[in-house]
Amino acid sequence: MSRLWARGLLLAYLLVVLLCLSTFGVYYSEARRLVGANYAAMVTDLVRAQHDPDRLRLILESLVERPDPIYLQQLRDLTWRIPLRIQGLDNHLRHSDLPPQDYRPFVAELADAEGRLSELEQVIDRVGRDSTLTPQEAHLLRELGLDIEESLAWSYSELNQLLHQASADQRHFMQRLTLAVAVLMWSLLVAIGGVLLMLWRLQVQSEAMQRLSLTDQLTGLGNRRRLLQEAEGAFARRERSDEPLALVLLDLDHFKRFNDTYGHPQGDEVLVRFARLLQESVRRMDVVARMGGEEFAILMPHSDLDAAHRLADRLLEAVGKMPLPGAAATGELSVSIGIAEAGEQDDFDRLYARADRRLYRAKELGRDRVEWAT
């Protein structure tokens, strides 16, 4: 029973460990995937946006040198794209976990640059009408463009640094959180393992106490309680299948005189050897018990009176040949036996009483004999 309990508890603990490890694995993989996810889209847009100031400067320089319609179209596309990028970044920032005071100055600078783009577009429209660029328009175009380029470059650079710092902070936080979850999960596994181990020890102790309550301490045989427990089951099976059931009672002859002559330690050794002899002589299904003192019993399921008589005769002969310990080796030992078979109306008390009467009759008739007839 304790092995089944141990296997069950071990299986339960392994399932808990597997569940915890699976949960932690899912958590860890998702945590790694989601770390910095709030900033991934912003960083992507920001990286793209950071190319716009350089492109703006390059187009302006080319346009000042030669007011080609291609450069004008590229500039118009850029002035259309830059506000969209600014709006996208502003939307990302508003929905992020960043404190507004951290990014508000940069968003304000971008908004100001966006407002100045309209002035740049007006100059571009005038240039586009006649495909010429006056010195005043070239100066204004360069001044506006470089001013916008500087604002965009500075804002994007600061936001880029802010986002990378926020992403790093988030990674550090998730690492600490992952460590805390791992420690908590390990503590949970240790606690569950401790509880299961305690339950297993309680079960082992309970089974040990139960065995002790059903076992004779000296011989290791079952005691009277064990015999009554087994007899209850045997009589229940007998009622269902009408199988025969026999009981053999044995009592060592003159055992008190043996103890007085050779001492109780020698007497205890004889009881142990006698118990071993009984165990070696019976079938596996038979129940051997020490009833107390030098009295023993054998409950024999599926056995009638004749089978019990044959066993008793073998035991009678084996006891006469059993070697005795120490100084008692020159002594003699015999046993009186009474046997009975359960009748239709019998219970264990009646069966035991009938076998007990025959045991005492064997004593009265000179001992070292078997009594089995009514």
Active site residues: 294
3-state secondary structure of 36: coil
Buried b (16+ CB within 10 A) or exposed e, 250-276: bbbbebeebbeebeeebbebbbebbbe
- 328 with 340: CB under 8 angstroms? no
Of 245, 213, 231, which Cα lies nearest the Cα of 349?
A: 231
Residues 6 or more apart whose CB falls under 8 angstroms from that of 311 comprise 248, 281, 282, 298, 300, 303
User: Going along the chain, which residue ranges are E strands?
Assistant: 245-252, 287-292, 295-301, 335-341, 370-371
Q: How far apart are CA 31 and CA 37, in angstroms?
A: 10
Q: Helices 69-94 and 100-130, interaxial angle, to 10°?
A: 160
